[in-house]
Structure 1
Amino acid sequence: MADKIKNFFKRKKVDAKFKLAGPGHRLDSSSSSFESNRSKTSYAPPQRIEPTIATRQAAEAALARLNNQKKDTPFNTSLAAIQAQVRRELEAEKKDGGNNNIPEYRKPIETELEASPLLAVKGVYFRCPMISEEVLPKEEWRGKIKTFLLEQLEEERGLTACLMIHSCNYSRSKVTECMDVLCRYLDNIIANPTEVKFHKIRCQNALFKDKVEPIFGAVELLYAAGFRQQEIDHNGTLEQFWVFDVANVEGTQTLEFLRDALKSEDRIELEVDRNIQVLSPAQAAKRIELPNEFYAISPEEIKKEQMYRTEAMEKQMQLRTKAMREKDELREIRKYKFALIRIRFPDGIYLQGTFSVYEKFSDVLAFIQENLEHDCPFIVSSPTGHKYEVADHENTLMHLRLVPATILTFQWDPSIAEEITSVTTTYLKPEVMMLIQSL
Structure 2
Amino acid sequence: MSKIKKFFSKKKEEAAAFKVKLMGSSMGEGHKLNTPKPDAPSSSNSRGRKYEAYVPPKRNELSNEARAAANAALSRIDKKTSREFNTSLSAVKAQAKRELEAERRQKEEASANVEVSASTASTLSGVDNRNMACEGVFFRCPMVSDEILPKKDWKVKIREFLYQQLEEGDRGLTACLIIHNCNVKEKADDCIATLVRYLENLITNPTDEKFLKIRMSNKIFSEKVRYVEGALDVLHAAGFSEVQIDDEPFLLWTREQTEQDLDLPTLVDGLKNSECIPLELDRNLKVLLPSQARRVVLPNDFYRLAPEEIKKEQQLRSEAIQQAQMLRTKAMREREEQRTLRMYRYALVRVKFPNGLVIQGTFNVYEKISDIFEFVQSCLADESLEFNLVATSEGKFGEEDMDKTLFDCKLIPNSLLLFCPETSSSDGNAGDVNYLKEELFMLVQSM
Equivalent in the alignment of 2:375: 367
Q: Which amino acid aligns with 2:215?
A: R
Cα deviations by residue, 1:35-54 (Å, 9 ceiling, x for unpaired): xxxxxxxxxxxxxxxxxxxx
| CA distance in structure 1 between the aligned counterparts of 2:216 and 2:428, rounded to whole angstroms | 72
* Cα separation, partners in 2 of 1:306 and 1:298, compared to 1, 3 Å: same
Equivalent in the alignment of 1:290: 298
Moved more, 323-332 or 359-368: 323-332
Equivalent in the alignment of 1:5: 3
Structure 1 residue 12 displacement after superposition: 6.4
Equivalent in the alignment of 1:348: 356
> Helix, strand or coil for the counterpart of 1:434?
helix
**184, 187, 190: which is aligned to 2:200?**
187
Conserved in 1, the CA contact under 8 Å of 2:172 and 2:259? Answer: no
> Helix, strand or coil for the counterpart of 1:243?
strand
Conserved in 2, the CA contact under 8 Å of 1:115 and 1:291? Answer: no
Counting only pairs closer than 5 Å after superposition, residues 58-137 of structure 1 correspond to structure 2 as 115-137=128-150
Counting only pairs closer than 5 Å after superposition, residues 40-439 of structure 1 correspond to structure 2 as 115-154=128-167, 155-169=169-183, 171-233=184-246, 238-249=247-258, 254-285=263-294, 287-318=295-326, 322-375=330-383, 376-413=385-422, 416-417=423-424, 425-437=433-445
Conserved in 2, the CA contact under 8 Å of 1:126 and 1:138? Answer: yes
Structure 1 residue 310 displacement after superposition: 0.9
| CA distance in structure 1 between the aligned counterparts of 2:326 and 2:206, rounded to whole angstroms | 68
| CA distance in structure 2 between the aligned counterparts of 1:429 and 1:258, rounded to whole angstroms | 49
* Cα separation, partners in 2 of 1:208 and 1:386, compared to 1, 3 Å: farther
| CA distance in structure 2 between the aligned counterparts of 1:420 and 1:217, rounded to whole angstroms | 65
* Cα separation, partners in 2 of 1:436 and 1:14, compared to 1, 3 Å: closer
Structure 1 residue 114 displacement after superposition: 5.2
Structure 1 residue 245 displacement after superposition: 1.9
Structure 1 residue 184 displacement after superposition: 1.6
> Helix, strand or coil for the counterpart of 2:304?
coil
Any unmatched runs of 5+ in structure 1?
19-112
Structure 1 residue 313 displacement after superposition: 0.8
Conserved in 1, the CA contact under 8 Å of 2:176 and 2:270? Answer: yes
> Helix, strand or coil for the counterpart of 2:130?
coil
Structure 1 residue 251 displacement after superposition: 10
Cα deviations by residue, 1:89-131 (Å, 9 ceiling, x for unpaired): xxxxxxxxxxxxxxxxxxxxxxxx7543211111222221112
What's the % identity of the aligned pairs? 44
Structure 1 residue 384 displacement after superposition: 1.2
| CA distance in structure 1 between the aligned counterparts of 2:417 and 2:145, rounded to whole angstroms | 32
> Helix, strand or coil for the counterpart of 1:296?
coil
Equivalent in the alignment of 2:50: none
| CA distance in structure 2 between the aligned counterparts of 1:127 and 1:251, rounded to whole angstroms | 33
Q: Which amino acid aligns with 2:348?
A: L
Runs of 4+ in 1 over 6 A off after TM superposition: 12-15, 250-253, 419-424
Moved more, 217-226 or 366-375: 217-226
* Cα separation, partners in 2 of 1:370 and 1:9, compared to 1, 3 Å: closer
* Cα separation, partners in 2 of 1:241 and 1:390, compared to 1, 3 Å: farther
> Helix, strand or coil for the counterpart of 2:244?
strand
* Cα separation, partners in 2 of 1:187 and 1:393, compared to 1, 3 Å: farther
> Helix, strand or coil for the counterpart of 2:443?
coil
Tell which structure's C-alpha radius of gyration is larger.
2
Q: TM-score of the superposition, structure 1-length normalised? A: 0.68
* Cα separation, partners in 2 of 1:132 and 1:419, compared to 1, 3 Å: farther
Q: TM-score of the superposition, structure 2-length normalised? A: 0.66
* Cα separation, partners in 2 of 1:325 and 1:191, compared to 1, 3 Å: farther
| CA distance in structure 2 between the aligned counterparts of 1:164 and 1:261, rounded to whole angstroms | 12
| CA distance in structure 1 between the aligned counterparts of 2:2 and 2:373, rounded to whole angstroms | 28
* Cα separation, partners in 2 of 1:192 and 1:392, compared to 1, 3 Å: farther
| CA distance in structure 1 between the aligned counterparts of 2:143 and 2:218, rounded to whole angstroms | 37
Structure 1 residue 153 displacement after superposition: 1.2
| CA distance in structure 2 between the aligned counterparts of 1:411 and 1:288, rounded to whole angstroms | 23
| CA distance in structure 1 between the aligned counterparts of 2:446 and 2:157, rounded to whole angstroms | 34
RMSD (CA atoms):
3.2
Conserved in 1, the CA contact under 8 Å of 2:11 and 2:273? Answer: no
Moved more, 381-390 or 119-128: 381-390
Equivalent in the alignment of 2:95: none
Cα deviations by residue, 1:315-343 (Å, 9 ceiling, x for unpaired): 44555554454344333222222211111
